[in-house]
Structure 1
């Protein structure tokens, strides 16, 4: 089977992650998959696999889950320590016809309890480490069974004890039935559970299949995104069907990352914006760990132009580019744009891109106040295409409130230029009176002050714009340099400096702005 044939099949029949490994093995059984860590569920498997071995492991795990009692249509919550085996287990659940519910290991036990109850007595697939954190939850009442992927625990079924279970025939769920459920970032409270189907997952591959077509050679793709995220489905599917060697990364420490890149020399890196910011220091490493990179890609959040510029200049590849895709869990990739080595530093970070080619999402901006959307009167950003998630599990009214016919309201505000570029200014809930765009301020100031490792502008207790700053190595802020850098933004209040480790973040490392604003208000109240 050719990769293009498999891709066309997915576009027709949908993307079933339980079938993907064996489909990829049919394309090329020898495509290598390398890990920077050991698999918890299969510690003997090692860190170097072929796609054929990977597919066999998924089939084995599916047999074990079936032996544990998992059946078609059953919801299986996967909440475990961050590990590449999460995606393998999700594929195994799908292979026996179960509905995968991916929960980030970064979620606290109370939130996990709420989400488990929302999906109504699911199977919980976890490991001993995470199960030990859930002792305050009445698991016997809110789950149908508990399965551990690693470690033995009382009142739980251990997959290790089911090795050698008879293999079972894969179960293919209907193309428009719930297939994989992921959750939103939770920046505004308890995360929403986003329902993806085989159809919506397959459609989301369209624009990204074209992006990967820029790579003419079968070079390594490094993937450093949360294993629980809907983006992992697309990233793994695309790389494996294109027969690209895959480097699946969990570790984010720059020293570890440098060693992996120097050893495997990836041509394509997919990573979180905040991870790329953390790795900026590697651009000065004389060993040049980014020298081999042809394409940098990030799809989770807007990224600062200065970061893109540093990364691109650290590449030694001709025509290296940074491709940014704007989207969200509910809609997938919506718009995108490419940045290049000699112009990225001058880019307007609020211009998140243009509509992608035929078959991809459509974008519109609708008025918020009766005035035509513009830079001064930004409107609501909405998306329409068949890749939009079909529901919020257990919160249908909340989902319906965001949808008008085929159009989905993203919660972001912005405008489109006369050339069609979408400018995203802020999340609606993060807008501050008198501030055009907090994100724009952050882009500009960060580009002027390299000593800042993070800057987040949030609304203060009196509706003022408060810049919360973190510095490299938590060094004291030079107030004179700060005043010079913010001269164009007189609406900013005095800066508040905190250690970067204290920034509240989501599972995809986004700063939880509302939580940060609440912290400032509480601290002010305590001082009063």
Structure 2
């Protein structure tokens, strides 16, 4: 089975007799229980569609969904799609002022949220109607107001009509609202992923775990494909009781945010070792550093576990894949750290070129420039920002805003986001080296600032750093400013765990000028 209509995805999987059991680390915000089969989930989607219809949501209208992180984001999205509406999924980790701007751009007919988020500001004023999943201010609809209404029959839409709106991470400012169609995110991405590929494909005997920011487009695509592949179990890790669920049901496939891998790396060295059965680790969203990848690969007791590193964007889906093995990570002091090699474009699906940032002339292999991509999976637009969207298109080539070099074989070596660049060094490569040399560092972040050496921010468990270890780590590196040691909680982050670099720089030195132009963020 391969996905197509997300409004009836759960129904079709249940009708085909798929026996997958979904285990949650905490109950959904929509319903009690921590274990569900496909018929139960299909029924929950239909029930939610009835709620939304009773709240007045109609075909073609937008519904904004803002709640705590959990997979029921996608159940609500499928319920809205069943009605012919367009769901816009907003992470509950967004700052309130950002949510207000995005809601104004969306102008939703309905806002679905919960009391914790509705208690900040006056969000109901930014939607025609508001439905709360638990409690909320006076005047908003509650579930008691909409229960008992049957879901209308599923509404079909054109493959090229807007299907879902997800926002980008927003590491450098306000996130963009990215609109995808059935053709782009399902036809071009999820259907390709729903093939049972040799070695890396999901098997019927697999236990598949996902630790994600469930408001983002990657999870929407993953939902479409993983259900059709019908693994034995699916584990949803929303951050509440991840460890307990992993120990009860050790996964064989694990896809997680880079920040999740970093925060749970200590489990790889514990006797219970919930990663012992994993044959495939998957990472997307952000750069992974070699020590973290190495720790997980060695935690697996499989003979040849793989790490699949994907690089892409919300606007395009994955552009390259790279597979890493224990052997590939064995040499930690290579001139070009292994994880900076992002691999090759997907054959027949994506094309990449590196161009001069000033002239946009193509550059030969080995030269650093902006990475442009061409793919039929590219999104339709940015909601409320047509000029920003148009500025990133160059004769059909999409400007990723990333700096890199292309090897003679066609692989992409990632250096930095253009907005984060410095003339002295690659910030991301330097972060790799610092994490290799300082095992006590959970995360290294190098910030470029105009007129002074780059600032290294080192995240440790207690916010301290050994001065002698730091001096040893500086060997052969370009000049850096004095290090800043912080705890994990002191670093501003997006809903996907990425560091908000501009906000962190502002906190450290005030509003400082940067080397990068930021024109293509």
1:514 aligns with 2:502: yes
Hey, what does 1:49 align to over in structure 2? Answer: 36
What is the Cα-based RMSD across aligned positions, in Å? 2.0
Stretch of structure 1 that moved more, 423-432 or 181-190 = 181-190
Match of 2:292, SS state, is helix
TM, length-normalised to structure 1: 0.91
Tell me, yes or no, if the aligned pair for 1:77 and 1:125 is still in contact at 8 Å. Answer: yes
2:217 aligned residue = 230
Matched, 1:176 2:164: no
Picking from 6, 9, 18, the partner of 1:20 is 9
Q: Structure 1 residue 494 and structure 2 residue 482: aligned?
A: yes
> Per the alignment, in what secondary structure is the counterpart of residue 81 of structure 2?
helix
Give the alignment of 1:370-385 within 5 angstroms: 373=363, 377-385=367-375
SS of the equivalent of 1:134 reads coil
Shift of 1:218: 2.3
Q: Indicate the residue corresponding to 2:515 in structure 1.
A: none
Q: Which digits, 9 at most, give the CA deviation of each residue in 1:358-403, with x for residues without a partner? A: 3x22222122256864687411111111111110011111101001
Match of 2:179 among 195, 199, 202: 195
Residue 241 of structure 1 aligns to a residue whose secondary structure is helix
Whole-angstrom CA distance in 1 between matches of 2:198 and 2:223:
15
Return the structure number with greater helix share.
Answer: 1
Task: State the match for 1:356 in structure 2.
Answer: 346
What's the CA shift string for 1:121-176, capped at 9, x where partnerless? 431111122111233x5x33x31111112225421111233222123101122111
Aligned residues: 503
Post-superposition Cα deviations, 1:58-113, rounded to whole Å, max 9, x if no partner, equal 01110121111110001101011223322211111111111111111011221111
Could you tell me how far apart the structure 2 residues matched to 1:302 and 1:490 are? 21
* Equivalent-residue separation in structure 1 for 2:447 and 2:109 (angstroms): 38
**Aligned mates of 1:249, 1:480 — CA distance in 2:** 38
SS of the residue 1:258 aligns to? helix
Aligned CA distance change for structure 1 residues 210 and 499 (closer, same or farther; 3 Å) = same
Residues 448, 375 of structure 1: alpha-carbon distance in 2 compared, 3 angstrom cutoff: farther
Aligned to 2:115: 128
1:504 to 471, 477, 492: 492
Is 1:65 paired with 2:68? no
Aligned match for 2:145, one of 154, 161, 165: 161
Residue 456 of structure 1: how far off its partner (Å):
0.5
Counterparts of 2:394 and 2:15, CA distance in 1:
41
Kept in 2, the 8 Å contact 1:460–1:521? The answer is no
Q: Aligned-pair distance for 1:210?
A: 4.9
Partner of 2:399: 409
SS of residue in 2 equivalent to 1:344: coil
Correspondence list, 1:233-382, <5 A = 233-244=220-231, 245-251=233-239, 256-346=241-331, 348-358=338-348, 360-369=349-358, 373=363, 377-382=367-372
Whole-Å Cα distance in 1 between the matches of residues 351 and 16 of structure 2?
32
Aligned to 2:88: 101
Q: Distance in 2 between matches of 1:378 and 1:208?
A: 31
Q: Secondary structure at the match of 2:510?
A: helix
CA distance 1:516–1:249, change in 2 (3 Å): same
Distance 1:479 1:374, change over 3 A: farther
Gaps in structure 2 of 5+ consecutive residues:
332-336, 513-521
Which residue is 2:409 aligned to?
A: 419
SS at match of 2:112: strand
C-alpha distance in structure 1 between counterparts of 2:64 and 2:176, whole Å: 14
TM-score by length of 2: 0.92
In 2, the alpha carbon distance for the partners of 1:57 and 1:186 equals 31
Aligned match of 1:444: 433
Stretch moving more, 214-223 or 196-205: 214-223
Query: Counterparts of 1:268 and 1:468 in 2: how far apart (Å)?
Result: 32
